[in-house]
Amino acid sequence: MSELAERAEKLDAADELAHVRARFVLDDVTYLDGNSLGALPAHVPGRVEDVVRRQWGELRIRSWEESGWWTAPERIGDRIAPLVGAAPGQIVVGDSTSVNVFKALVGAVRLAGEGRDEILVDASTFPTDGYIAASAARLTGCALRPVRPDEVPAALSARTAAVLLNHVDYRTGRLHDLPSLTAAIRAAGAVAVWDLCHSAGALPVALDEHGVDLAVGCTYKYLNGGPGAPAYLYVRRELQDRFDSPLPGWNSHAEPFGMRPEYAPAPGALRGRVGTPDILSMLALEAALDVWDGVTVEAVRAKSLALTDFFLQCVARYVPDGRVESLTPVPHEERGSQVALRCEDAGDVMKRLIERGVVGDYRAPDVLRFGFTPLYVGFADVERAARILGAVLD
């Protein structure tokens, strides 16, 4: 056994989260793609079977009340709230991340008020966020200005209505400074909108503490909600009575069964709802969140940093010099829960890794991405992945 393998064994033996791994359906594959799709929590299939066979099959429409279907969006939102540092009553679950970005960004421009006609967007954002920001700008009569997150403070002006930023860069794994950027945005009188897709469930976010105005995120990555699991929308409590969603629907009406021709928004975060929620995937997500019982985000963050540190050390030892370049920052305060390695033949390399039982993913043109989900990834997984990467590249 190599020195690094022995070290991995000792780290796994001392890991306070090691027992959580048993809560997931896993096999001999080293799965480092939880930043794209989280692993299946072992109890979810049984819970979904109950939803389908009993709640839908037997109770049918009675389940909207008797099984709590109607209150699921806000109930599950309150389950997510502690994972992103939010008090109850500020998160509603439903729709896709894209739809929630649209709701949040147009809502932000409306909150900003008259005289503000510019939206700043993360220049390196996930493409969909950029597409939606462009559409929101057209619809609201705003100019769209792409800037790097570190350029935001200097770019802010009296024209700025809203700023849409990613907490963690999906491609490089860089963690952006949410506290200071939020403070700068709010000091300029603009509205801060954060995309938490690559941070929620992997590191502390502290939305309430740092005064974030609006935030969105998906639930199928580090929250393990399953493919196509619904996203969520956070609306800071102080803004809820002024939040004007661009997608008013019967589910967000103050009297949803009143069937009135005029729209009147529901109180609180409920006005972020739109139409009938996707109950099957939503209740699968609710079940998946049980894996967080007894787990703190702080413990997850500590393990995440230890895993990524160890992976970078193993890569340095096993991979031939000059074959890869890490795009992920070394300082902990700048790092999410993934490591991105630049490699000139990355697409082919990832295929060969997957053939040998190491699953990460590839981003064109030359990036290997490895996501570390501390709930089920161990240090032996990390050592094995780096060792096989070295063999493939040798």
Residues that are catalytic: 126, 195, 220-221, 369
Q: Is the dihedral of CA 133, 137, 142, 143 positive or negative?
A: positive
Task: State how far the Cα of 129 lies from the Cα of 92, in Å rounded to an integer.
Answer: 19
Q: Which amino acid does the sequence have at 99?
A: V
* Cβ atoms of residues 18 and 369 within 8 Å: no
Cα distances from 104 to residues 211, 213, 319, 392, in angstroms, run: 15, 9, 43, 44
Cα three-residue angle 78-79-81, rounded to 5 degrees:
60
Task: State how far the Cα of 379 lies from the Cα of 228, in Å rounded to an integer.
Answer: 29
Reduced to 3 states, what is the DSSP secondary structure of residue 181? Answer: helix
* Cβ atoms of residues 311 and 370 within 8 Å: yes
Tell which residue, 300, 310, 297, has the closest CA to residue 9: 310
Q: Which residue has the tokens 């990036």?
A: 367
Joined together, the tokens standing for residue 386 give: 């780096």
Tell which residue, 201, 114, 120, 180, has the closest CA to residue 155: 120
Reduced to 3 states, what is the DSSP secondary structure of residue 197? Answer: coil
Helices and strands (DSSP H and E) totals, the chain: 12, 13
Tell which residue, 79, 141, 158, has the closest CA to residue 106: 141
342: left (phi over 0), alpha (psi -120 to 50) or beta: beta
Q: Which residue has the tokens 């896709």?
A: 96
Beta bridge partners of 312: none
Joined together, the tokens standing for residue 294 give: 């007894």
DSSP-assigned states of every residue in 266-333: PSGGGGG--S---HHHHHHHHHHGGGGTT--HHHHHHHHHHHHHHHHHHHHHHSPTTS-EE-S-SSGG
Q: Which amino acid does the sequence have at 54?
A: R
Task: State how far the Cα of 328 lies from the Cα of 169, in Å rounded to an integer.
Answer: 10
* Cβ atoms of residues 56 and 66 within 8 Å: no
